[in-house]
Amino acid sequence: MLLAGTTKTLGKLAPLRGPLVLTALCTTPILLWARAAPLEARFSGSFASLTSVAVLCAFAGTAAFALNLLLGARLRVVETLFGGLDSMYKAHRVLGQVAFTLLLGHVVFVLAGRATISTGTAVELLGPGAGWTVFAGVLAFGAMAASILTTLFVRLGHEVFVYVQRTFGFIFLAASYHVFTTTGAKAQSVALNRYMAVLATLGIAAFAYRSLFGNVLVRRRRYRITTVNRLDEFVTEIVMEPRGQPLTFTPGQFVFVNFRSLALSEELHPFELSVERQVFSFRAGEVGNQFHPFSITASPGEPTLRVTVKAIGDYTRALRRLEPDAEAVVEGPYGSFSHWNVPSGRQVWLAGGIGVTPFLSMARSLGDRNGQSIDFYYCVEHDEEAHFLDELQAIASRRDDFRVTVVARDREGFLSAQRLANENADLVSAHVLICGPPAMIDNLRAQLTTRGVPEGQIHAEEFGFAKLGRTGSTTARPRRIPVPLTALVGALSAAVALIAIGLLVAGFAT
């Protein structure tokens, strides 16, 4: 009993490991800085105090920037730390915001410190006259701000968005030059120097691995498209066979795929500028370089790899033109959303529209032997949109423990936790897996927790990796980040602020 309780507790803490590690890594340089010299001299007067707070923001912000590049490299060991790529990318987004906020604080406090001498002294720091060490920092921050504002407020095509994101690696190089050529605080601590050097090296190496030498270093498998099944005017199933060793995956996982197709290259033009649609897209690498995420719909035992795509943007619409024998390059698998990873035999699956894709792989992997007790609710707008229903019902007919229910919104309205509770007396003890539109996930999660289903028993597949949904297969809507992740990753800023305030107070007190 004790072992079981301990295992359950560790399972609940697993999603917190990544944010806790990030918090520790970003606050470590502040602690090393604080131990390097007496605080009295560092907080003796307005200029010294403001400059010291600026230094704290610089070290923590640079650490967060480096770690953000590491998260963006999609390394398997990092994904495992966060319990899945979706959770890792949520941390990636928040950490990017934290890094920018801290570096903005660095600029503000540096200028405020110089302004205590004179306004002209502060303004001089912004020009090349202050020296290349300082000006490199100005250029790096300016480029970082421009890139962030562009991604937030300009509707970009997928390829432009990807290339803008890649600029952060070069921006970090300029920022690192500024950090490591600036004399002062870090010169008093060998440990701090080494620590920042390690983080910077990891960040630059991760950027080079993913963005510069990805075609050589990242392990990918080649497939050949055998069949393109157009299920209706929007949904397409793509079947691929391996050209070498096939992919090994867990039901429910997803892959990044680059389709190299003549028909696709004819459909997607290199440039698109539309005032009416408010889109600017540069697609030089659309067919040759860019990878898009898709859920695997095949069973692990199948000889072929299958993905099912809904046309919601330029790229996914163009995939309907894919021809047999075209090449597909596959990277992955990623994700931890799977019935195999749920520590309970009693499960409720909730799919919304194309969110059925990971459940197809799970259902196809069940076989004919009873084991887990699963109720599967397949939510669609209209009955005819319930693709693969015959196959799902055939699986259910072979198993007493797998039940399929179609919920058509035009007939029955939206699925609710009240209905789930009425039809599943043991709902509170079951594990619930949800994949579908963001609004569906958010609403059902809130309803289920209100009805007593523990948050740790609700598992959702959320592909909100950024703004990829505008032309890819993911959603472009802003995602609500679960409270534990927000609290822990967001605690980076709070931790830095508290430590800075504590040091400031301690400095004045001495």
323-329-330 Cα angle (round to 5): 120
What pLDDT sits at residue 462? 65
Instruction: Return the pLDDT at 8.
Output: 40
Both tokens of 27, joined, read 């606050």
Closest CA to 292 of 464, 158, 157, 161: 158
Q: Is the pLDDT of residue 5 over 80?
A: no
Lowest mean pLDDT among 180-184, 277-281, 291-295: 277-281
> Distances from the Cα of 469 to the Cαs of 155, 164, 435, in angstroms?
11, 16, 15
Q: Does residue 89 carry a pLDDT above 80?
A: yes
The CATH topology of domain 218-334 is Elongation Factor Tu (Ef-tu); domain 3 (2.40.30)
Q: How confident is the model at residue 155 (pLDDT cuts 50, 70, 90)?
A: low
φ, ψ at 367 (rounded to 5°): 75, -160
- The answer, yes or no, to whether residue 359 has pLDDT greater than 90, is yes
Q: Averaged over 175-190, what is the pLDDT?
A: 81
* Mean pLDDT of the residues in the chain: 83
Cite the DSSP H helix spans in 347-482.
357-364, 389-398, 409-412, 417-423, 438-450
Over residues 336-352, the mean pLDDT reads 92
pLDDT band with cut points at 50, 70 and 90 for residue 273 = low
CATH topology of domain 345-468: Rossmann fold (3.40.50)
Place 84 in a pLDDT band, splitting at 50, 70 and 90.
Answer: confident
pLDDT value at position 189?
85
Q: Could you give the angle at which helices 85-115 and 17-36 cross, rounded to 10 degrees?
A: 30
Q: What pLDDT does residue 489 have?
A: 43
228 three-class SS: strand
Query: Looking at residue 483, what is its pLDDT?
Result: 40
pLDDT in tens, 460-486: 986 544 333 333 333 333 333 344 444
